[in-house]
Amino acid sequence: MLQPIEIEHSYQRIKPYVNNTPIFTSSFLNKCFNCEIFFKAEGFQKIGAFKFRGAINALLSYKEKNGTLPKKIVAFSSGNHAQAIALAGQMLDVSVRIYTPTFSSKVKIQAAESYGAEVIKTESRAVAERLTTQDINNGFYLLHPFNDEDILLGQGTSCYEALQELKNIDAIFATCGGGGWVAGSYLAKEHLSPSSKMFAAEPKDADDAYNSYKSGKIVELPEPSITIADGARSSKVGDITFEYLKKLDDFYVVDEERIIYWTQWLNHVLKIRVEPTSAVTMGAVEQWLSSSKLNNQRILVLLSGGNMDQETEQKVWQKDYLTKQPFLL
Amino acid sequence: MLQPIEIEHSYQRIKPYVNNTPIFTSSFLNKCFNCEIFFKAEGFQKIGAFKFRGAINALLSYKEKNGTLPKKIVAFSSGNHAQAIALAGQMLDVSVRIYTPTFSSKVKIQAAESYGAEVIKTESRAVAERLTTQDINNGFYLLHPFNDEDILLGQGTSCYEALQELKNIDAIFATCGGGGWVAGSYLAKEHLSPSSKMFAAEPKDADDAYNSYKSGKIVELPEPSITIADGARSSKVGDITFEYLKKLDDFYVVDEERIIYWTQWLNHVLKIRVEPTSAVTMGAVEQWLSSSKLNNQRILVLLSGGNMDQETEQKVWQKDYLTKQPFLL
């Protein structure tokens, strides 16, 4: 396993390339929960999500180890990972090929293409995997979206930045997809604030990581999830990331209605664009506070990003949750 | 007419009470327009809109002139003005009564009430006016939403802050409702950057100010507008604000579809919550650039706020404009 100090090395490596994203608070939410909640907003990271941190770290680390950058990279992604490696590739002059499912949102493909990536739509994961294997044989370097030490270390630099700014944090919350973001955040807090608790949140409709955590072995979803939290749809965590997930203080699942509820409320009170994947965390925060009966906690909530296409926005704003005020302690 | 230096006095007066709101840029939009566009985001002002600046300035200025604050204030408002005076009243310990139309959004009433204001729903404007007159006779101080020198000076401090930070601005854009925001911004630029051009934008469906500007006399809408840009629904500008509107470099109207288009795009690229009233400005920016054939301009766009209820969000995200890329020069 990686040493927590590795986060610091990754941070120094990528610092000139990433945005130090701002932290927001809401006096209204603080009053509701009788706590201080700090929101680290990765929507203001390049490409609008934390994923850029991992992509740029993986490329720069590759160069340190091999003396040179890979000439070309390939990845399979429907979303933010595609944009992240497209931009990282453009910045470092590496050509990028992405296989993407036919159902991917136009806006995300548009963004990846605007960074100069070649985007190829494929009908099934099996086809994409076959083509990727061919590419690897032809000299492409495959960049996994989460099950990679350099990727997870890069993702963890967001929590690292936040904990450099904020002291005496009692608990940290992050949403779990494949586990890279949570694993990296865990390492960051072990390095800078080991006494803070670390919790993960997952959509109930994609609860493979939750079940893996609870059972102690990696569980796979029988079929792909269609949760609105599109950054947490992955069917199983990685063997690398799982080693860190095991060490969390607890794990929570949040249902679709509550994810939408918190997406509305975070957009409303923070006045920033918060994607459903980020809002999953607040469902966990309220469960933790409610079951532990704690208050006066200093809580760090890691918000994954602010990328929503029109279809997602439409789903988020179908019903009115803003007139139903948040949970009051 | 007020002297431009008055803006500075107002700014010094309210500085301890207001947020110095951040300025955002989008490299994507800058590339589209071949310009540098700076967005002053009043969504991060207290109550989520610039309106708080005017309300707090009016109360503090009243105290300077009269030696004491008014004991109680009354206003008629369906929206942000209500929240603004409710919070200003709470901060200065002045009781606040607001008459609001029955169609007002629950979220806005909720907010005004959470700041301790008494909110009374009235069936018609006529009823509200009769009750307001009674209140004035009973010692309430009436605070007009825009046709008031202290209100417009307060609103202008947003442009003042921006122009202290940004030099060599070629053009400034703001949305016109009753004219307080535009009038105050005009004074700010006359004080700090007189060579900058100042433009106003208005929804085509509420084009009273545009017609007033073009004809040189105040024109009233035959009936109240239902434009999605709810901060610009006022039926006519004030006699005080109109004196400043006359001096603008030009005035543009923007149709509903384009307002929604730009609401989607500003939310998408800036990653902050931008209300339709704010997005009207971008319709004007593209008209100005397109007709003048200018590029390489440094443009300041004043964004009024980030308050949207669920119904507005639902209307904004009905169609997909994010796959139709912005106007390219």
**Is B323's CB within 8 Å of A110's CB?**
yes
> pLDDT value at position A329?
45
**Is A323's CB within 8 Å of B107's CB?**
yes
Nearest residue of chain A to residue B312 (CA atoms): A317
Q: How many angstroms separate the CA of residue A42 from the nearest CA in chain B?
A: 10
pTM of the model: 0.96
Rounded to whole angstroms, the Cα distance separating B154 from B159 reads 10
Collect the ranges in chain B with pLDDT lower than 50: 329
Would you say B127 and B134 are in contact if contact means Cβ atoms under 8 Å apart?
no
pLDDT digits (tens, 9 = 90+) for A77-132: 877 899 999 999 999 999 999 999 888 878 888 889 989 999 999 988 889 889 99
* A226, pLDDT greater than 70: yes
In this structure, what is the dihedral angle of CA atoms B124, B130, B131, B133, given to the nearest 10 degrees? Answer: 140
pLDDT grade for A266, boundaries at 50, 70 and 90: very high
Nearest to A142 by CA among A237, A66, A70, A75: A75
Measured CA to CA in angstroms, residue B145 lies from A177, B76, B135 at distances of 48, 8, 17
> pLDDT value at position B323?
87
> pLDDT value at position B329?
46
Residue A140 has what DSSP assignment? P
| B interface test, pick of A322, A324, A328 with most B CB neighbours within 10 Å | A322
Rounded to whole angstroms, the Cα distance separating B56 from B52 reads 6
Q: How many angstroms separate the CA of residue B222 from the nearest CA in chain A?
A: 32
Nearest to A61 by CA among A1, A120, A2, A14: A14
Q: How many angstroms separate the CA of residue A44 from the nearest CA in chain B?
A: 7
**Residue spans of beta strands (DSSP E) within B176-312:** 197-203, 250-254, 298-303
Rounded to whole angstroms, the Cα distance separating B135 from B97 reads 9
**Is A310's CB within 8 Å of B321's CB?**
yes
In this structure, what is the dihedral angle of CA atoms B58, B59, B64, B70, given to the nearest 10 degrees? Answer: 130
Task: Describe the crossing of helices B180-192 and B5-14 by its angle, rounded to 10 degrees.
Answer: 110
Q: Which two tokens stand for residue A282?
A: 């607040």
The identity of residue A298, as a single letter, is R
Q: Which residues of A292-304 are buried (b: 16+ CB within 10 A; e: fewer)?
A: eebeebebbbbbb
> pLDDT value at position A261?
97
Q: How far apart are the first and last CA of chain B?
A: 39
Rounded to whole angstroms, the Cα distance separating A155 from A84 reads 11
Helix then strand count (H, E) for chain A reads 14, 10
Contacts of B311 in chain A (CB under 8 A): 320
Interface of B with A (CB under 8 A): 28, 43-44, 48, 106-107, 110, 114, 264, 267-268, 270-273, 306, 309-311, 313-314, 316-323, 325
Q: Kindly tell me the burial class for residue A291, based on how many C-beta atoms sit within 10 Å of its own C-beta (0-12, 13-18, 19 or more).
A: exposed
pLDDT grade for A207, boundaries at 50, 70 and 90: very high
State which H helix or E strand residue B30 sits in.
helix B27-33
The answer for A86, left when phi > 0, alpha when psi is -120 to 50, beta otherwise, is alpha
Would you say B306 and B274 are in contact if contact means Cβ atoms under 8 Å apart?
yes
Contacts of B28 in chain A (CB under 8 A): 114
Q: Which two tokens stand for residue B59?
A: 């109360």
Q: Kindly tell me the burial class for residue A16, based on how many C-beta atoms sit within 10 Å of its own C-beta (0-12, 13-18, 19 or more).
A: exposed
State which H helix or E strand residue B236 sits in.
none
- How big is the A-B interface in CB pairs under 8 Å? 69
Nearest residue of chain B to residue A260 (CA atoms): B310
- Tell me the ipTM for this assembly: 0.95
Q: How many angstroms separate the CA of residue B127 from the nearest CA in chain A?
A: 27
Task: Describe the crossing of helices A276-292 and A256-270 by its angle, rounded to 10 degrees.
Answer: 100
Q: How far apart are the first and last CA of chain A?
A: 39
> pLDDT value at position B327?
65
**Is A110's CB within 8 Å of B325's CB?**
yes
**Is A28's CB within 8 Å of B314's CB?**
no
pLDDT digits (tens, 9 = 90+) for A32-90: 999 999 999 999 999 999 999 999 999 999 999 999 999 999 998 877 899 999 999 99
Q: How many angstroms separate the CA of residue A16 from the nearest CA in chain B?
A: 18
> pLDDT value at position A328?
55
**Is B313's CB within 8 Å of A316's CB?**
yes
**Is B311's CB within 8 Å of A325's CB?**
no
Contacts of A264 in chain B (CB under 8 A): 310
Contacts of A44 in chain B (CB under 8 A): 271
Contact partners, residue A257, CB within 8 Å, separation at least 6 = none
Mean model confidence pLDDT for chain A: 95
Which residue in B272, B309, B322 is closest to A273 by CB distance? B272
Could you give the residue ranges of the DSSP H alpha helices within A67-117?
A: 80-92, 106-114
| A interface test, pick of B109, B273, B328 with most A CB neighbours within 10 Å | B273
Residues paired with residue A101 on neighbouring β-strands, in sequence order:
A122
